[in-house]
Chain A
Amino acid sequence: MSAWKDIAHNGIWKQNTLLAQLLGLCPLLAVSTTLVNAVSLGLATILVMLLSNLAISALRSLIPYEIRIPVFVLIIAALVTVVDLAFNAYLHDLYLVLGIFIPLIVTNCIVLARVEAFAAKNGLLDSMLDGVAMGAGFLWVIGLIGGLREIIGQGTLFSGIEMIVPTAHALQILPADYPGFLVMILPPGAFFTLALLIAGRNWLEARANQRRLAQQRRDTAPLTA
């Protein structure tokens, strides 16, 4: 179905949280220091976005328009709290890894933004897909930034993976005597990396637009001026 394809395309590329909407910068700065941390937060974000979009789409006819924002915030905060408690109780090993990231999701404005812009106006299935697609858009960008910052900042990849897969080890990408590059680990490193990725995305979009325009001109030239 093309509507679903649009939702997925919007979330992952066209309206990407980090590259196009620039929402969710707070968790991005805090957590994208290593690939494992970044991907863990991304996965937890997908889960919370799926649940919050689902809950609000289901309850949308009960929520008066005038007080929708406080109700949305209430629902999102309650869901994050319950997810946090459930992870702690039933998936304790995973909680030891992801635990500190779950409360951080509340600081991610993309959750409220999608609830307000999408789930409050659309059906259950579409809203769930939108939550997952937006979360996936967040996941791949924060994962890429986490990987780049980790390689440049400390010369490794997958550090911390042994918390998830006990037998795995971090890969040493740069020589072992690499002194590290502290700026990349500190928040400015996240800004620099994100700026480069946004520039790259804008360049790709501009090139695609030019091609489309050229194509249109060629197609329409014989018919109209």
Chain B
Amino acid sequence: MSDPDEPLEIAHPEESGAMRIAIRTAAVLLAFTLAFTAFMSSAWYLTAPRVAASAQAEKLRLIGEVLAPTLYDNALLADAITLPPQTVLGLDEDTRLFRARKNGAPVALVLEATAPDGYSGQIGLLLAVAADGRLLAVRVTRHKETPGLGDYIDPKKDRNKARPWITQFSNLGFAQIPIDQWRVKKDGGHFDQRAGATISARAVTNATRQALAWTVARRDKLFALPNNARFTDSSEE
């Protein structure tokens, strides 16, 4: 593909000439790098607020998927506490935990968790845990699993529309499925996985188990904390 007719600008092959060409070439490369880095940074600055707003709107829509709006009567988004990073939940930055109540009585906790071990990196989860310890529902908020193979963990991509894979967790707690059975069938547990993409299912199942156990153990404290408080785990191992 190289072009033999391209003029190689080495008219005077002396030391100084070669040096000058090297410096000029390096300067051009530097200029291109600076220009296109600036191009990317400005695109990032211009789009960042809108990207964040889209992500927030998407999160509100997702909360509706794990927790039916008829189940609670408080202002859900206002009744929240801040969770500092939790290793057990796979979270490495602050997140918000929302608390649903009806007539003042606790109904459910809505929180985020991350499965660190998906087939292509992290899988973000959103869970609603009922006050009686059952998992109301879990949804995948972000993932990079293989399209058409591992992405069935997201019900939008699941071919089984009548009963998407992720809904098999709905309304189950450790009273219904013992904690040591809260695994995919391939690992000797209760939950189905799809052939050819066990890793995605295993990552979601294990992260869901850990998040449910974490939440149930701290349920009363999570409901009792004042609004906008910062959760600190006194029983941190």
Within 8 A of A (CB), among B148-191: 148-149, 156-157, 159
Total B residues in contact with A, Cβ cutoff 8 Å: 31
When C-beta atoms are compared, the residue in chain B nearest to A116 turns out to be B1
Total A residues in contact with B, Cβ cutoff 8 Å: 40
A31 at the A/B interface (Cβ < 8 Å)?
A: yes
| Contact between chains at A62 and B40 (CB < 8 Å) | no
| Contact between chains at B28 and A64 (CB < 8 Å) | yes
* Contact of B47 (CB < 8 Å), options: A67, A88, A100, A160: A88
* Contact of B148 (CB < 8 Å), options: A34, A78, A121, A163: A34
When C-beta atoms are compared, the residue in chain A nearest to B39 turns out to be A78
A159 at the A/B interface (Cβ < 8 Å)?
A: yes
Q: Which of A9-17, A68-76, A131-139, A210-218 contacts B (4 or more CB under 8 A)?
A: A68-76
Q: How far is the CB of B150 from chain A (nearest CB, A)?
A: 11
| Contact between chains at B159 and A30 (CB < 8 Å) | no
A223 at the A/B interface (Cβ < 8 Å)?
A: no
A185 at the A/B interface (Cβ < 8 Å)?
A: yes
Q: Which residues of A contact B147 (CB under 8 A)?
A: 30-31, 33-34, 37, 100-101
Q: Which residues of B contact A116 (CB under 8 A)?
A: 1
Q: How far is the CB of B82 from chain A (nearest CB, A)?
A: 26
Q: Which of A45-53, A79-87, A122-130, A200-208 contacts B (4 or more CB under 8 A)?
A: A79-87
Alpha-carbon distance A74/B3, docked complex (angstroms): 21
| Contact between chains at B50 and A90 (CB < 8 Å) | yes
Interface of B (DSSP majority class): helix
| Count: A-B pairs, CB below 8 Å | 81
| Contact between chains at A89 and B29 (CB < 8 Å) | no
A23 at the A/B interface (Cβ < 8 Å)?
A: no
B11 at the A/B interface (Cβ < 8 Å)?
A: no
| Contact between chains at B1 and A33 (CB < 8 Å) | no
With A33-B147, A66-B25, A82-B39 already in contact, the answer to whether A89 and B51 are too (CB < 8 A) is yes
Q: Which residues of A contact B104 (CB under 8 A)?
A: none
| Contact between chains at B196 and A62 (CB < 8 Å) | no
Within 8 A of A (CB), among B12-65: 24-25, 28-29, 32-33, 36-37, 39-40, 43-44, 46-47, 50-51, 54
Tell me the B residues contacting A by CB distance below 8 Å: 1, 3, 6, 8, 24-25, 28-29, 32-33, 36-37, 39-40, 43-44, 46-47, 50-51, 54, 144, 146-149, 156-157, 159, 195-196
A117 at the A/B interface (Cβ < 8 Å)?
A: yes
Alpha-carbon distance A162/B40, docked complex (angstroms): 32
Q: Which residues of A contact B44 (CB under 8 A)?
A: 85
Supplied contacts A30-B147, A78-B36, A81-B43, 17 more A-B pairs, CB within 8 Å: A33-B148, A63-B28, A65-B8, A74-B32, A74-B33, A74-B36, A78-B39, A81-B40, A82-B39, A82-B40, A88-B51, A89-B47, A89-B54, A90-B50, A160-B157, A170-B159, A185-B149
Q: Which residues of A contact B156 (CB under 8 A)?
A: 162-163
* Contact of B149 (CB < 8 Å), options: A33, A67, A89, A121: A33
Alpha-carbon distance A139/B29, docked complex (angstroms): 33
Alpha-carbon distance A86/B40, docked complex (angstroms): 11
Q: Which residues of A contact B159 (CB under 8 A)?
A: 154, 156, 159, 170
| Contact between chains at A67 and B25 (CB < 8 Å) | yes
A168 at the A/B interface (Cβ < 8 Å)?
A: no
Within 8 A of B (CB), among A73-122: 74-75, 78, 81-82, 85-86, 88-90, 92, 95, 100-101, 116-117, 121
Q: Which residues of B contact A34 (CB under 8 A)?
A: 147-148
Q: How far is the CB of B164 from chain A (nearest CB, A)?
A: 13
Q: Which residues of A contact B157 (CB under 8 A)?
A: 160
Q: How far is the CB of B147 from chain A (nearest CB, A)?
A: 5
Q: How far is the CB of A106 from chain B (nearest CB, A)?
A: 13
A20 at the A/B interface (Cβ < 8 Å)?
A: no
Q: Which residues of B contact A81 (CB under 8 A)?
A: 40, 43
* Per-residue B-contact encoding for A161-192, CB less than 8 Å = 1, 0 else: 01100000010000000000010011000000
Q: What are 16 A-B contacts defined by CB distance under 8 Å? A: A31-B148, A37-B148, A64-B28, A65-B8, A67-B25, A74-B33, A74-B36, A78-B36, A82-B39, A85-B47, A89-B51, A89-B54, A92-B54, A163-B156, A182-B196, A185-B148
